[in-house]
Structure 1
Amino acid sequence: MGFEWPDWALDMLIGISPNEVMQVLTKQRRWPRRGRGSTGIEMLTIWGRTAAGRPLIVGLRQAEPWQWQIVAARPMSPEQVAEFEKWEQENQ
């Protein structure tokens, strides 16, 4: 599976480095979930932690069968962290 960054998506990263996004995407332990962007576009979200343990959600849109565009990344809310930690506990 390959990942690509549209220029506009890189410009929208605030307080998150591209390296942190790639850490979440390439970790063995991550939680893929269906989601919607702020404009209602369906996407795949990946919930995971950076190497330093920071919980992030990364939004992806499929460009080709094995190619995904990284279209969003943000920190998890406290409620999402609680949900993610529950998933981590159940999936050790």
Structure 2
Amino acid sequence: MPYRWWPATLAALNGIDPLEALQALNADRRLPRAGVALDLPVLSVWARTEAGRPLIVVLRHEGGLEWLIVGALDMTPAQVAEFEAWEASHAPE
């Protein structure tokens, strides 16, 4: 899928390298969650970087296969626990 960065997102990344967000988006195991931000539909993708860092990357669908990256953040401890429970229940065979 083609991803495009919203310039404000790049400027607002706090301790997250843009490559880490892309690694999370391309991870084999991703938990997608539909949501709404600023009254617009978004998709948050919960995943791990290649180094194992749990991140949430927020996307806005632009049509076809195009997605705009509108945010990336570290999971909170509660989100990590929820994600780890999901990982455990979706272990690769």
After TM superposition, the score normalised by the length of structure 1 is 0.93
Give runs of ≥4 in structure 1 deviating > 2 Å: 39-42
Deviations 1:52-91 (A, max 9, x none): 1110000000011110000000000111000000000000
CA distance in structure 2 between the aligned counterparts of 1:82 and 1:76, rounded to whole angstroms: 9
Structure 1 stretches lacking a partner, 5+ long: none
Aligned pairs for 1:28-67 (under 5 A) are: 28-37=28-37, 39-67=38-66
SS at match of 2:45: strand
Which AA in structure 2 matches 1:8? A
Which AA in structure 2 matches 1:20? E
Structure 2 stretches lacking a partner, 5+ long: none
Q: Which residue of 2 aligns with 1:76?
A: 75
Q: Percent identity?
A: 46
After TM superposition, the score normalised by the length of structure 2 is 0.92
CA distance in structure 2 between the aligned counterparts of 1:72 and 1:24, rounded to whole angstroms: 12
CA distance in structure 1 between the aligned counterparts of 2:36 and 2:55, rounded to whole angstroms: 16
RMSD: 1.0
CA distance in structure 2 between the aligned counterparts of 1:79 and 1:10, rounded to whole angstroms: 25
